[in-house]
Every structure is written in C-alpha cells, then in structure tokens.
Structure 1
C-alpha cells in the first residue's frame, strides 16, 4: 500500500511511501487489541492506595468502659472500627495491577490498531523534520498545515528527536513517541497517526520481528 509523503507545510512532495500489508493491512484482531489496551490502562494505576486498620491506628489500648451494666454494646478499644477515628474494616491495601502479555500478542494488537487506522485513512506520512530551537509555536504550525490543530494526534519519530519532543510538551492535543514506543492505546486514542518517513522501517522491523 502506497501513501503520499507530505512536507511540514502539508504539501505533497511527489514521493510515495510503501506501507507493509503485514503491518498496516491485516485483518484486525479485536480481542488482542482489547487485551493490550486493558494492560496499558492497568499499568497506569499506581496501586498505592492504603487505609489504616485497627492494628495500625494510634490510640489508647485501655478498655473504654466496663463490660456489663451500661445498656450498650460491649467495647474494648477506642481503635475499634465502629468508633469515629477507629480503623477501617477491609480497607484498601497496596496492590500491583500489572498484567502479563506475550510479545506476539502485543505485536498483533499493534498491527491491528495500525490496520484499523489505515482503513480509516487516518495515517499521514510526513518527511523527517526537526526544529533548531524547541518552540511550541513551530510545532503547532506543523499541525495546522496538516489539518490536525484541533484533533488528537500521535506523532511517530524514527529516532529520539529532542527538538520535536520538547516543542510538543506544552501542546496537550498531541503525543510524540519513537517507533519503539508505540502502544495500541495511543494509536487508537488518536484521531490521526502521523508517521515520519524515518519511522517506517523501524515500525515494520519491530512488529514483524519474531
């Protein structure tokens, strides 16, 4: 599948980029996509939630009232969960939410996501570019030229590009990753995926590697 290569002003350069059918033209596997997105979202959870139980509350251990004759339920500690300031019953504890997926399934999920975007004509190939000085304004101008200023976009770089990355940090509507940092969630979360020419070889190599 061939796609026109644009420059940073959104104009056709007259060149075509070849997108591999084995990455951008497969039949999407929805279950693989579901599992990979589920894992990505699970990994965003810190799992540091914690509430103190009665054994962790600071307070007196004396018996607060006599056992019988009060007309109320017996009580042995001010730290009891039934009292205000006492410990919490079955409170949250730290937990690891990470999930394990094998590499082949993750590759299949990412190829499926890219194929979905390809079928939606939501993939744009742009010639490699850089900024001499990181400026958010310059980055926004590139998005304007590509018609993506008011849309969620994912910019995929071939290698680490400090100028483009720093220029994009203050712009909330776009995410910039290298070809090795692609994730199924980020691909699907973007309305358009912008691939720099230098990223194509790395994407196909990473996703077809066995």
Structure 2
C-alpha cells in the first residue's frame, strides 16, 4: 500500500498517511499516458495560424511586364508564390486542433501519473495554512520548511480558496488547483505533489470504483 508523509501547517512532519490503492498503486499504462499528453497539448493550441494565398495578398492586377523582349523571366502577377511578398502555397490555415479521449482513458492516465509520483516518493499530504487574507510570505515559508521552495510543486485542494489562490499565484514554481480539476499532464509536469486531506478524501470517493 502506498503511503505519504503528513505535514502540519507549521511544516512539521507527522505520521504517514495511507494513500488509496486505486489511485496511487495502479498499473502504469505508458501508452495511455503518452496519448493523453499528446491530446492535452494539441487541445491547448489556438489554431489561429494563417497565411495568405495569392488571391489574398495585396497586389496583382496588370502583368508586371510584357511577355517577350525584356530578357527577363516571364511573369503574370506579382502575387505569385515565387515572388517575394507573394502568396504562400499550401501554407497553414486556421483550424480546430481539438480531439477527445474516452473517460476511461483519462482516468487511467491520471491514475498512472499519481502512481508514478507515489513510486518516486514525491507525494505529501499537507495541512494547508489557513489565511484570512492573501499572504505569499506564509506559503513561501511553508514550502521552505518542506525544502520545496525552488521545486515545481502542484498543490491540490478540495475547494477554491481565494486567499490561498492569490498567495500561491505569487510564487513562481507553485501551482494551485482543485483536486477534481487535476489532470495527468498537471501531475507529470510537477516535480512534487502536495495534497490536502479533504482533497485526498474527494479523490478517494470519486475514483473508488
């Protein structure tokens, strides 16, 4: 059974916490993870890349010079793709890059990512400091006590806390996210994963089947 160290809000370690096997001791499916990451990154693309064809660029109209007698190569339009400033042949056009994955595949990818982090010993359960107002210093000191201030950290919490969100948002390598919105890419992209007890319980309930 997978375990993680529990850290209090003052940064002091407590007893180890058992992690749900269905999430943190699952089979690692590399092919599914690979497919998920490719799909996720593809869906981040705006798809607004565009070039102008010879019909869209400025110019055209009359023939640049007569067909014969100049000694120059014949030309019919200054919008030709072989001219500087002319149109582009087979250039990129706006398109939708979105693709989808089955729900089972998304879940399998997330479980694989969680299990990989657990196997590396890079998961901790933390009691998140309670903030009455945004205080970046408090969160920075908390991470410092865990020796994670210069590491890429993903903090998973149960619900949105505006004060906590603003405090985390000011720290370069710390990302705050609700546990139910976590995905495989987020987990893999972080060096360390911090989970609050309520968030861990929510994950346990949702992924219990």
Which range, TM-score by smaller chain?
over 0.9
Provide the TM-score with structure 2 as the length reference. Answer: 0.92
Give the deviation of 1:13 after TM superposition. 4.0
Question: Which residue number in structure 2 is paired with residue 11 of structure 1?
Answer: 12
Distance 1:141 1:44 in 2: 33
1:17–1:197 Cα contact (<8 Å) kept: no
Partner of 2:166: 166
With over 3 angstroms needed to count, the CA separation of the structure-2 counterparts of 1:99 and 1:208, relative to structure 1, is: farther
DSSP 3-state at the match of 1:107: helix
Structure 1 length as normaliser, TM-score?
Answer: 0.92
SS at match of 1:177: strand
In 1, distance between residues paired with 2:50 and 2:5? 53
Contact preservation (8 Å) 2:54, 2:87 = yes
TM-fit CA distance, 1:73: 2.5
Alignment partners' CA distance in 1, 2:40 and 2:108 = 15
- Structure 2: runs of 5 or more not aligned: none
Does the aligned pair in 1 maintain the 2:179–2:199 contact within 8 Å? yes
Residue aligning to 2:100: 100
| CA-based RMSD | 1.6
Judge conservation of contact 1:9–1:146 (CA < 8 Å) in 2: no
- The answer for the alignment partner of 2:27 in structure 1 is 27
Task: Assess if the C-alpha contact under 8 Å between 1:126 and 1:195 holds in 2.
Answer: yes
Alignment of 1:77-156 (within 5 A): 77-156=77-156
Distance 1:152 1:55, change over 3 A: same
Hey, what's the Cα distance between the residues in 2 that align with 1:38 and 1:58? 38
- Count of aligned pairs: 208
SS at match of 1:54: coil
| Residue 76 of structure 1: how far off its partner (Å) | 1.3
Contact 2:156/2:196 (<8 A) preserved: yes
- Say whether residues 1:191 and 2:172 are aligned partners: no
Q: What does the per-residue CA deviation read over 1:113-153, in whole Å, with 9 as the maximum and x for residues that have no partner?
A: 10111111111001243311112222111111121111111
Between the aligned partners of 2:119 and 2:165, the Cα distance in structure 1 is 28
Q: How many Å separate the matches in 2 of 1:23 and 1:192?
A: 16
The 1:120/1:72 distance shift into structure 2, 3 A limit, reads same
